Amino acid sequence: MMANVRAAKARLSELLERAAAGEEIVITSDGRPKAKLVGIQPVRARYRVNRRLLAVATRKPVTPAEKLIRQERDDRD
């Protein structure tokens, strides 16, 4: 669809709804295309981390690096 600037100003809400529905609207000035209204994809909801689940998650005890190095050295001998 094409609309001149004056018509676009008068019917902006309608043109935005049409663009959101997938239609491309070209806005003209003095008969020349100047801009295009196109819809955008809806923004997806951001992924949320459940921090309570992370806090209570069972974790294996971490062996300190010094202990691992000692064990490896002892295994070599």
Over the stretch 42-77, which tens digit does the pLDDT of each residue have?
Answer: 778 888 888 887 777 666 677 788 888 899 999 987
Find the domain containing 14 and state its range.
2-40+48-76
Q: Which of 17-21, 32-36, 67-71 has the lowest average pLDDT?
A: 67-71
Banded pLDDT at 25 (limits 50, 70, 90): very high
Number of domains in the chain: 1
Mind giving me the DSSP string for 20-68? HTT--EEEEETTEEEEEE---PPPPPPP---HHHHHH---PPPPPHHHH
Banded pLDDT at 29 (limits 50, 70, 90): very high
Task: State if pTM tops 0.85.
Answer: no
**Residue in this structure with the two tokens 């809806």, named with its chain if needed:** 42
| Cα 68 to Cα 72: distance, rounded to the nearest angstrom | 6
